[in-house]
Structure 1
Amino acid sequence: MDIIIILLALLFLMFVAYRGFSVILFAPVAALFAVLMTSPDHVPVFFSGIFMEKVAGFIKLYFPVFLLGAIFGKVIEMSGFATSITRAIINVIGENKSMLAIVFVGAVLTYGGVSLFVVAFALYPFAAELFKAADIPKRLIPGTIALGAFTFTMDALPGSPQIQNIIPTTFFKTDTWAAPWLGLIGSIFIGIIGMSYLEWRRRKARKKGEGYGDTSGSGTTEVNHEKLPPALLAILPLLLVGICNKIFTVLITRHYGLSFDFTSIGISNVAPVEIPKLAAIWAVEAALLAGITLVLLTSFKRIKTNFKSGINISISGALLATLNTASEYGFGGVIAALPGFRHINTGLASAIKDPLVNEAVTTTALAGITGSASGGMSIALATMSETYLAQAAKAGISPEVLHRVAAMASGGMDTLPHNGAVITLLAVTGLTHKQSYIDIFVMTLIKTMAVFLVIALYYLTGIV
């Protein structure tokens, strides 16, 4: 019964999200419904002690990233930089390769360490310009961005700095380059199959005579195409964000060490700050500030007319995206604390004997239930990593393979309709689940297939 309650809460949240209702309201409703059906007298304590604590913690950590990411994307758009870059890309690769261009840019940004959420904000203006120029349906933008940002560069490609590729290192004593050949092959598979699907969707829409669609209310700003900045200047802010993110990540840790104690500067009653947990976030924020500053210094004349309205729009978008995702995070926290979740976790672990398949199924299932790749993987590995290591040692399986399978599996079924990144992406693009979710879900299926392809390849060849 405990498991059924969790599944009902999950299905309800997926249904209302798909129907376009706000998860800001319905994520706590779904979570507290599960608590009500399990232990009615625990509803208020779960709401304040778990749900709201998780929401507040998420906002505390990530709201500045959402805000700066939204502003960065907006000034890139208003300055004409997005239009300039898209024009240059079209001249080089042609209008029929617009989707490939967006996937490529998204992959470069995420592999460079830019947050997935930031990429959604920053990439949309480019995608909107390219898709309008090529007359590709706007509804295909989320699936295209998802392929570039939410799939192979997130956790499959060796060396990815995204959190999904970092978490396994603490459990398996590996590094982010674990199982490089398996990760590379999985990445190529995802890229080829994903692009083939998107191109098929584009051709199908063109045969029906479907174009970009209604541009009203798209949230983009009209740009004077006769006075566009040079493409080389336009791409500098993107390069600066990627480079600064890398530099600041190293410098912050080197400067502060492992922690900062406020008593060293005469301030008491404030808890020490654990630097490693925040260094990546601070680095992204500082890098975004550098990117925004560069755009303003080089192009303020172009954006000053619409600067106030544009900034207000971006702030509103950042608030909505943050609250959507934080509410999802709170839902996952409540569900993870319920007895049914523990039953699901242990049941999956005992039903499948092969350590790699067990790890893949458990991780992707928990990521789907919580709506979070990093959250689901953290729960799975915290519970089962020692067991996986022991089983892998008996079978002669390298911990590197466990790392790569866990990382890739976390980004499989996590992108169900209630996933925070999915909701953010749709909010940024101004589209609904009904219009665009099918393409994101196909990317989810391709990503999940890739995990089991990698497992099969390892067993057949022993390649790592």
Structure 2
Amino acid sequence: MFIEVLAILVSLGLLMFFAYRGFPVIVFAPIFTLLAVVLSGHALLPSYTETFMTNAANYVKSFFPVFLLGAVFGKVMEISGAAASIAHSIVKALGSKRAILSVVLACAILTYGGVSLFVVAFAVYPFAAAIFREANIPKRLIPGTIALGAFTFTMDALPGTPQIQNIIPTSYFGTDAYAAPVVGIIGSIMVFTAGMLWLEYRRKQAAVAGEGYGEGHTNEPEVNQDEKYPNIWLSVLPLILVLVFNYLLSRGFLNVSSWYDPEMLKQTFKIANVKTVASTWALIVALTIGILAALLINPKQVKNKLAAGFTAAAMGALLAIFNTASEVGFGNVVKTLPGFKIIQDSILGASNHPLVSEALAVNVLAGITGSASGGMSIALEVMGKQYLQLAQSAGISPELLHRIASMASGGMDTLPHNGAVITLLAITGLTHRQSYKDIFAITVAKTLSVFILAFAVSIF
């Protein structure tokens, strides 16, 4: 059995190494999947065509609409000027004395409203650079500040967030985007507080050392103070519409679960439990409404950039979904191999409580793959049913499984090889050596908060 376990660990290690070096996961996930299959003595081609490809395709079928519409919504918010208007207004209102807080809030509002993380980073960075320069705060703190606002509590902890990390668990646990709201809000407060304390500590530390914004930076943006942005209230409207309609369609009087006859869904579309798809349906409708509203904010400007914007959004969505789907295919092949039972028993045996065990599994896999959605998808594909059974036997709500899995996915995923981290550093013109320390501190705070909540819930 040692060889079978080693086959899986070697394949995972190689996948992580190649992802870290910037090689495409779409290409190398199936290669290392088949390496694990060969080393385990299993059938090569059937494992690829019938297990890897089938599960990857199922993932695309389930989540591509969310990836695509989320990317389009973010792009339309960007080209209409709405995202920049929101960031500019918040930064201007709070001023340079609260530079860090203003950037965190700008990122948080955009992310919670459904704008993709990458668009948020692009939209907020110019204003973050301007206000950090005015406040004489080191530029190297900008990535950590953006990461706190966009990559943590609004991505997966706050109930109702339309980010994919909060939608994936719904298909495994039959929950919706508002699962375990109290735990999510408490977790959000913990992460926000710890993150702000760390960033303010770092700011004061730099001030004592006489370090300012610095000179000779690359990728320095120029913010035109005379530039006209769309009205702030019009700019915020699409975000509000996404949140409101997502709630109404998930838990309100427009609940999408009641739109169709359950027997018809079962007979015609093979949907045994509408709850497994209702959250995706709700978000599809909500994002569509948000896109239409965003298009109307600045129609003249949008019209000239619409074709290029839609193309960029579609390409980004395709890359993101197929990267994640490849990781899901990898996980589904791995769980069929003989060595996986030992690994599975080790993870499940790490704690006799399903929430703690789930947090560990999701965190480890998110860290290895460098992807919150990819790591969580692998963990839930492989062990989601067992966690659900364990939770039900222990009287634990599936909503808690959802929230802990979602929050855990945004823990150790931001290791150095994470795509969002690499992109954020590229946008800001900084390096891992300059800024990763602060991103890692935020990552540690996020990870610890998940385990604190999981242990706390397990006690009570």
> Which category of TM-score, normalised to the shorter sequence, fits these structures?
0.7 to 0.9
Q: Give the aligned partner of residue 64 of structure 2.
A: 63
Q: Distance in 1 between matches of 2:399 and 2:241?
A: 34
Counterpart of 1:376 (choices 379, 384, 404) is: 379
Q: Distance in 1 between matches of 2:57 and 2:143?
A: 28
Give the TM-score, by structure 1 length: 0.75
Q: Distance in 2 between matches of 1:191 and 1:350?
A: 32
Change (3 A) 1:455 1:319: closer
Q: Within 5 A, what are the aligned runs for 1:255-274?
A: 255-258=259-262, 260-261=264-265, 271=270
- Deviation, 1:344, is 0.9
- Deviation, 1:343, is 0.9
Q: Give the aligned partner of residue 180 of structure 2.
A: 177
Question: 1:218-266 CA distances to partner (integer Å, 9 max, x unpaired)?
Answer: xx9x9995332211111111111211222233432121144644978xx
Of 46-55 and 96-105, deviating more is 96-105
Q: Distance in 2 between matches of 1:447 and 1:50?
A: 34
Of 333-342 and 48-57, deviating more is 333-342
Change (3 A) 1:97 1:321: farther
SS in 1 for 2:297: helix
Are 2:116 and 1:119 equivalent residues in the alignment? Answer: yes
- Deviation, 1:273, is 7.9
Change (3 A) 1:310 1:211: farther
Q: Give the aligned partner of residue 240 of structure 2.
A: 239
Are 2:256 and 1:252 equivalent residues in the alignment? Answer: yes
Q: Distance in 2 between matches of 1:238 and 1:126?
A: 15
- Deviation, 1:48, is 0.8
User: Conserved in 2, the CA contact under 8 Å of 1:167 and 1:374?
Assistant: no
SS in 1 for 2:179: coil
Change (3 A) 1:386 1:242: closer
Counterpart of 1:34 (choices 17, 33, 36) is: 36
User: Conserved in 1, the CA contact under 8 Å of 2:29 and 2:327?
Assistant: yes
Are 2:219 and 1:214 equivalent residues in the alignment? Answer: yes
Q: Give the aligned partner of residue 301 of structure 1.
A: 300
Give the TM-score, by structure 2 length: 0.76
Q: Distance in 2 between matches of 1:176 and 1:386?
A: 18
Change (3 A) 1:92 1:166: same
State the aligned residue count: 435
Q: Give the aligned partner of residue 128 of structure 1.
A: 125
- Give the letter for the 1:242 counterpart: L
Question: 1:11-48 CA distances to partner (integer Å, 9 max, x unpaired)?
Answer: 11111111111111111112111112112x51211111
Of 404-413 and 225-234, deviating more is 404-413
Q: Give the aligned partner of residue 93 of structure 2.
A: 92
Q: Give the aligned partner of residue 77 of structure 2.
A: 76
Q: Give the aligned partner of residue 419 of structure 2.
A: 423
RMSD (Å) for aligned C-alpha atoms: 4.3
- Deviation, 1:385, is 5.3
Taking only the aligned residue pairs, the percentage that are identical comes to 37
Of 295-304 and 360-369, deviating more is 360-369
Change (3 A) 1:98 1:280: farther
Of 69-78 and 224-233, deviating more is 224-233
Q: Distance in 1 between matches of 2:75 and 2:261?
A: 35
Of 98-107 and 196-205, deviating more is 196-205
Change (3 A) 1:62 1:198: farther
- Deviation, 1:282, is 2.3
- Deviation, 1:346, is 0.8
Q: Within 5 A, what are the aligned runs for 1:290-439?
A: 290-350=289-349, 352=351, 358=357, 360-362=359-361, 364-365=363-364, 368=367, 371-377=374-380, 379-380=382-383, 382-383=385-386, 386=389, 403=401, 406-407=404-405, 410-411=408-409, 415=413, 422-423=418-419, 435=432
Q: Distance in 2 between matches of 1:90 and 1:243?
A: 25
Question: 1:84-104 CA distances to partner (integer Å, 9 max, x unpaired)?
Answer: 222211121124645534543
Change (3 A) 1:13 1:35: same
Q: Give the aligned partner of residue 282 of structure 1.
A: 281
Are 2:9 and 1:7 equivalent residues in the alignment? Answer: yes
SS in 2 for 1:298: coil
| Structure 1, gaps ≥5 residues long | 265-269
Of 17-26 and 410-419, deviating more is 410-419
Question: 1:56-114 CA distances to partner (integer Å, 9 max, x unpaired)?
Answer: 122222222222222222221222222222221112112464553454355456667x4
Q: Distance in 2 between matches of 1:454 and 1:326?
A: 29
Q: Distance in 2 between matches of 1:79 and 1:100?
A: 25
Change (3 A) 1:75 1:429: farther
Q: Distance in 2 between matches of 1:433 and 1:35?
A: 40
